[in-house]
């Protein structure tokens, strides 16, 4: 019997596992994949979680954050206009190849029993929990489900059918000479593509490149090359690019209302809710919700509160500190999908008043 089983070794799962293990809990972390691996992601790590990330990384991986490229600017290319706003404090650009592997290593280093290539098939009980996996059964007093947006454990019968539009995520790394130190978002009918500079770190070697990551309707594009021709400025820019990684993709992208608790299980990261990727906050929300889940469970492990009370404390901290980001980002998403005739005056206003654009961005934080 462990104190805690965490399902999923992404930012949410490792954040929960590391925080609990450092406070003396016996933690089993289960991940179906294998690190390091590329993942569909814009790799924009917003400033809100950088202190938390610095605390979670093991000492040998601190340079991953300290040396990361900073992103002090965002440019939005839409309807022939370029809206520019500062990202203040600047975000960090960190490849998921390095990011997830470093957090996994940190979990191992602080005593988490971390097992890769183990698929969780089902969960029973409501505390203690029985977890059925590809390598056998495990029991725990508490459970954090951090298995991401679309795992076999999180799908419901209505998911994937909402609104009939099917979204796809695509990503690839490319060589570009002198990329701008900004996150550049190219919006077009049926999707958008973000581009920003990033480094891959391999021992003492650093390899510079740009990450191009798109969210697109499946009837508009199914490859990055098809995405690039959807926007004139992106088509022009991508002409000089040379691929440096195999492209990766993920689908479907399904947006859900936040649900931080289900049948006594604490849901963290994308498993609790998937925020629209263009706000660049998914990693930050994953790290923060993982650590909030852990902080809510620690008093239960110490015998100070019941499991139900721990879950209630998590839900209320989540609602207070994280849920507002989801509400604001869906408002912005609705604004961007307005008909062009309505969008044009709004964009003109934002172009003339960078303070309003900056305010909107800050409300998604």
Ligand X SMILES: Cc1cc2nc3c(=O)[nH]c(=O)nc-3n(C[C@H](O)[C@H](O)[C@H](O)COP(=O)(O)OP(=O)(O)OC[C@H]3O[C@@H](n4cnc5c(N)ncnc54)[C@H](O)[C@@H]3O)c2cc1C
> Which residues does 6 contact at the CB level (< 8 Å), separation at least 6?
13, 16, 17, 27, 28, 29, 30, 143, 144, 146
The one among 17, 27, 29, 30 contacting ligand X by CB under 6 A: 30
Q: Which stretch binds ligand X (CB under 6 A): 148-156, 254-262, 314-322, 346-354?
A: 148-156
3-state percent breakdown (helix, strand, coil) of the chain, nearest 5: 35, 30, 35
The one among 122, 152, 189, 362 contacting ligand X by CB under 6 A: 152
Asked if 280 touches ligand X (CB under 6 A), the answer is: yes
Asked if 364 touches ligand X (CB under 6 A), the answer is: no
| Pattern 160-199, ligand X, x by CB under 6 A | ---------x------------------------------
Nearer to ligand X, 32 or 173 (CB): 32
The residue among 101, 102, 90 whose CA lies nearest residue 57 is 102
Nearer to ligand X, 3 or 269 (CB): 269
The one among 281, 292, 297, 310 contacting ligand X by CB under 6 A: 281
Q: How many residues of this chain bind ligand X (CB under 6 A)?
A: 40
Nearer to ligand X, 143 or 215 (CB): 215
- CA 232, CA 80: separation in Å to the nearest integer? 9
The one among 57, 146, 201, 227 contacting ligand X by CB under 6 A: 146
The one among 20, 41, 195, 361 contacting ligand X by CB under 6 A: 41
Q: Which stretch binds ligand X (CB under 6 A): 38-46, 258-266, 294-302, 348-356?
A: 38-46
Asked if 36 touches ligand X (CB under 6 A), the answer is: no
Beta carbon of residue 348, minimum distance to ligand X (angstroms, whole number):
27
Asked if 282 touches ligand X (CB under 6 A), the answer is: yes
Q: Which stretch binds ligand X (CB under 6 A): 42-50, 65-73, 303-311, 335-343?
A: 42-50
Rg for the chain (alpha carbons), in Å? 20
Asked if 260 touches ligand X (CB under 6 A), the answer is: no
Cβ atoms of 97 and 37 within 8 Å: the answer is yes
Nearer to ligand X, 255 or 299 (CB): 255
- CA 250, CA 244: separation in Å to the nearest integer? 19
Q: Which long-range contacts (CB under 8 A, 24 or more apart) does 301-310 make?
A: 301/3, 301/4, 301/20, 301/23, 301/24, 301/25, 301/141, 301/142, 307/127, 307/141, 307/142, 307/264, 308/264, 310/142
Which tokens in the block code for residue 138? Answer: 């495990």
Nearer to ligand X, 305 or 332 (CB): 332
DSSP 8-state assignment for residue 126: S
The one among 32, 38, 141, 173 contacting ligand X by CB under 6 A: 32
CA angle 237, 241, 246 (to 5 degrees): 130
| Residue carrying the six token digits 């999180």 | 154
Beta carbon of residue 47, minimum distance to ligand X (angstroms, whole number):
11
The one among 3, 6, 13, 131 contacting ligand X by CB under 6 A: 13
- CA 124, CA 24: separation in Å to the nearest integer? 25
- CA 187, CA 209: separation in Å to the nearest integer? 22
Within 47-106, the residues that bind ligand X by CB under 6 A are none
Cβ atoms of 98 and 108 within 8 Å: the answer is no
Q: Which residues bind ligand X (CB under 6 A)?
A: 7-13, 30-33, 40-45, 119-120, 146-148, 151-153, 169, 213, 215, 250, 253, 269-271, 277, 280-284, 286
């Amino acid at each position: 019997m462990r104190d805690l089983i965490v399902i999923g070794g992404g930012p949410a799962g490792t954040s929960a596992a590391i925080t609990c293990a450092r406070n003396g809990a016996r933690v089993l972390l289960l991940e179906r994949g294998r690190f390091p691996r590329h993942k569909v992601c814009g790799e924009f790590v917003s400033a809100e979680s950088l202190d938390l990330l610095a605390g979670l990384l093991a000492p040998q991986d601190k340079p991953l954050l300290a040396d990361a490229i900073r992103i002090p600017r965002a440019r939005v290319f839409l309807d022939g206009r370029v809206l520019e706003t500062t990202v203040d404090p600047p975000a960090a650009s960190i490849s998921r190849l390095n990011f997830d592997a470093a957090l996994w290593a940190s979990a191992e280093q602080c005593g988490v029993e971390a097992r890769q290539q183990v698929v969780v098939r089902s969960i029973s009980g409501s505390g203690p929990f029985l977890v059925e996996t590809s390598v056998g059964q495990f029991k725990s007093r508490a459970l954090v489900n951090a298995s991401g947006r679309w795992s076999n454990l999180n799908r419901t019968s209505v998911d994937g059918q909402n609104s009939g539009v099917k979204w796809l995520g695509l990503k690839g790394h490319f060589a570009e000479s002198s990329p701008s130190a900004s996150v550049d978002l190219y919006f077009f009918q049926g999707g958008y593509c973000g581009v920003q500079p990033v480094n891959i770190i391999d021992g003492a070697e650093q390899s510079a490149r740009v990450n191009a990551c798109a969210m697109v309707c499946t009837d508009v594009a199914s490859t990055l090359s098809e995405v690039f021709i959807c926007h004139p400025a992106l088509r022009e820019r991508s002409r000089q690019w040379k691929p440096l990684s195999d492209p990766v993709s993920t689908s479907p992208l399904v947006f859900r209302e936040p649900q931080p608790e289900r049948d006594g299980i604490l849901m963290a990261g994308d498993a609790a809710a998937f925020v629209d990727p263009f706000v660049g906050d998914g990693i930050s929300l994953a790290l923060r919700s993982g650590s909030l889940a852990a902080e809510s469970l620690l008093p239960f492990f110490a015998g100070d509160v019941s499991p139900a009370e721990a879950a209630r404390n998590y839900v209320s901290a989540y609602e207070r500190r994280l849920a507002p980001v989801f509400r604001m980002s869906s408002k912005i998403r609705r604004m961007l999908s307005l008909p062009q005739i309505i969008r044009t005056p709004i964009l003109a206003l934002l172009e003339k008043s960078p303070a309003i654009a900056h305010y909107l961005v800050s409300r998604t934080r």
